[in-house]
Structure 1
Amino acid sequence: MIPATRRDSPAADRHGAGHAPCHHGEILQGVFLDAAGRRCAGLVTLPMGGPGSRAAFTRRPGTPPERLGVRPGDRTKAARAAALAVEECSRRCGEPPCGGELRLSGDIPVGLGMGSSTSDVIAAVRAVADSYGMRLPAAAVARLAVRAELACDPLMLDTRPVLFAQREGRVLEVLGHRLPPLVVVGCALGGGAPVDTLSLPARALDDHDVRAFERLRVLLRRAVATGDAALLGRVATASARRGQRLLRHPEFDALVGIAGRLEAVGVQIAHSGAVAGLLLDAAAPGLRHRIRGCVRALESEGIPVTRTFTTFPAPPGCSAPPGRADRADRPDLPNVPTTKESPSGPAHRGGHRPTGPDTPRRPARLPAL
């Protein structure tokens, strides 16, 4: 049966697909100075492979642009991003904007600070672009993402560590080629309950705060340049402590204590959620023993363990079996982040860097992370 939206369309429907990853919270977040000396909110995220958002967009040429539906219906930011992407792509192609249908699916838990909404938005933009047979530059994707949700994570970029102005959608600094080799033992604070970041009180930052963040930026730049996992851990821990001035997770001191007892290089948290991680130097001896120790210590403190992953690619042919949240038994086969964005749809094949599509997004069971 031909859908009603297609009867008045002189052209065939066009289909596109898009995908976007998530992250595991931040290594560093604060207020920094841009090249012009202006203050900017900025962050450095910790990439994580595995969960992500997928989008399928059916473009219906000849229909009014306001006839753009989304499923599930609560993904309003993604719907707004799709409408903006249609406007952008039609302008680039010299075609009139039209309506369509956006379907989203994904397995990123909500409220943990893993970039679930940005992942939805970027997947939607990529799916729309793919339906036009094009691939938008990362800067254009970032601009549309900020317009759709006011602030976004740098998930449209590759996994090079960057200081990203999330409210402006621009890179303040590329810190280097890759993060030092780390193993991250992930966990969820607050029992994994979603964090309503809009309800958090705003904290005024003065020149002293900005100088402190700039010092951490310098140290992180040095850690990336030299591959110094211990120095990165110091930066992440200092940033996490500052984040606790607002988040106030009751388990944070226990997390830091575990890191000290088991010789982790530091801790990291999502500054807008509950996900956190113990950072271990992947080159240090006794890694398996320390991973197991971290898992046991977290469990003894009642802190749910989620996923163990690394900041470096797995050896060729190695991949983690699905369904394993804890890789303590095989740290050489972790769930690793991709080094490039996964291809999505015909227009994305060759270089870009999930359950039912009608299921409303909800906090996932923690082991599924």
Structure 2
Amino acid sequence: MNPGATNAPGTGTGHAPCHHGEILQGVFLDGSGRRCAGLVTLPIAGPGSSAVFARRPGTAPEALTVTPADRTKAARAAALTVAECARRTGRPPCGGELRLSGAIPVGLGMGSSSSDVIAAVRAVADSYGLRLAPTTVAALAVRAELASDPLMLGGHPVLFAQREGRVLEVLGPALPPLVVVGCALGGGAPVDTLTLPAADLGEDDVRAYERLRALLRRAVATGSADLLGAVATASARRGQQVLRHPEFDALVALARRVGAVGVQIAHSGAVAGVLFDPAAPELRRRIRGCLHALDAHGIPATRTFTTGTSTTATSTTGSTPAKETPHHGPAQHGPAQHGPAHRRVDRPAGPDTPRRPARLPAL
């Protein structure tokens, strides 16, 4: 087991954060010029998924249970990770018990399933006394759920190929600092991403996304909140071709009126944010004006938080998640978010509590 661990033999723990939707999502060109779906997420401190896995040596690998029972993607990830860890340690694969807890609302586009999956992978690896490289965690997560958010890489801004589990570009050490006034569109109703029509993207779309990628790269390099806000707004607008949120135009207009730098919207859910430069004059007045405007338009506000070089929630309690350095090869290892040191990240609901439909106070 890991040094200082207090787990029972054969038991491991893991944690993964969530995010607040995307800053940029679209189709990009990889290093070989091939078209590839990719995204850049907006990190948020606080809620996340925690997992405990207890191995049952001598049982069949298929004798693996998960609580709550509806976390089928996490169960699949645990089974895949058992096979991988057994291969690495020379032990026979076995079954076990996976218990998940957390407070991430589903359907808002905050990466709830990816958080579950990554926490499960880390807990299984911890039960074997292993620390898997982020590239390995990403590969297992994609195998388990077909597409994964880059939550295994910490808060560093990366353009991530979510269907392939690989980093297309490391954009820099940190996003420009932002103050985000969170809200939920559609009254916070969950979004069934499987029912959304597929976007028909052509070469002009790819060129447009590549221009946004270059602008976001420049925003990170120069620390420009204004430029980041412009990229997020443009990406969110393009996403409306599929999501079609009726409140979108009103959200963009009110953001402009209150002096925000832009808006960001989850491309697979209802969570959204009005983005402010923390160095803007009369910031508190602007935020108050934003909250009043959201209320006037019937758009529920959720939480206000800061992000960038120091990701700290300002309206709820919770510690800032530890960060991992993005890794691009098996030889590069960094601190993994698993084991007892990560139990402090949030105060999860009991493991038998079914994940709630999206209720705004949970944010």
Name the TM-score, length of structure 2 as normaliser: 0.90
Could you list the runs of 5+ residues in structure 1 that have no partner in the other structure? 1-11, 324-334
In the alignment, which residue of structure 2 is the partner of 1:345?
A: 339
In the alignment, which residue of structure 2 is the partner of 1:355?
A: 349
Closer/same/farther in 2, CA of residues 314 and 149 from structure 1, 3 Å limit: closer
Residue 178 (structure 1) aligned with residue 171 (structure 2): no
Deviation, structure 1 residue 290:
0.7
In the alignment, which residue of structure 2 is the partner of 1:191?
A: 187
Residue 368 (structure 1) aligned with residue 362 (structure 2): yes
Match of 2:289 among 289, 293, 303: 293
Counterpart amino acid of residue 323 in structure 2 = K
Residues 107 and 364 in structure 1, CA contact (< 8 A), matched pair in contact too? no
The residue correspondences of 1:187-266 to structure 2 (distance < 5 A) are 187-266=183-262
Q: Distance in 2 between matches of 1:275 and 1:247?
A: 12
Residues 305 and 367 in structure 1, CA contact (< 8 A), matched pair in contact too? no
Counterpart amino acid of residue 354 in structure 2 = P
- Percent of matched pairs sharing the same residue: 76
Residues 18 and 151 in structure 2, CA contact (< 8 A), matched pair in contact too? yes
Deviation, structure 1 residue 337:
5.1
CA-to-partner distance for each residue in 1:36-93, whole Å, 9 max, x for gaps?
0000000000000111000000001111111000011100000000000000111111
Closer/same/farther in 2, CA of residues 320 and 233 from structure 1, 3 Å limit: closer
Q: Distance in 1 between matches of 2:259 and 2:316?
A: 29
Q: Distance in 2 between matches of 1:312 and 1:172?
A: 21
Counterpart amino acid of residue 223 in structure 1 = A
RMSD: 1.9
The SS at the match of 1:220 is helix
Which structure is richer in relative contact order (CA contacts within 8 A, separation 6 or more)? 2
Closer/same/farther in 2, CA of residues 85 and 245 from structure 1, 3 Å limit: same
Count of matched residue positions in the alignment of Structure 1 and Structure 2: 341
Could you list the runs of 5+ residues in structure 2 that have no partner in the other structure? 1-7, 325-335
Deviates more, 1:292-301 or 1:187-196: 292-301
Q: Distance in 1 between matches of 2:9 and 2:61?
A: 14
Residue 74 (structure 1) aligned with residue 57 (structure 2): no
Deviation, structure 1 residue 339:
5.6
The residue correspondences of 1:130-209 to structure 2 (distance < 5 A) are 130-209=126-205
In the alignment, which residue of structure 2 is the partner of 1:116?
A: 112
Name the TM-score, length of structure 1 as normaliser: 0.89
In the alignment, which residue of structure 2 is the partner of 1:283?
A: 279
Deviation, structure 1 residue 363:
1.9
The SS at the match of 2:175 is coil
Deviation, structure 1 residue 338:
3.7
CA-to-partner distance for each residue in 1:238-259, whole Å, 9 max, x for gaps?
0000000110111111100111
In the alignment, which residue of structure 1 is the partner of 2:329?
A: none
Q: Distance in 1 between matches of 2:34 and 2:273?
A: 32
Q: Distance in 2 between matches of 1:285 and 1:322?
A: 24
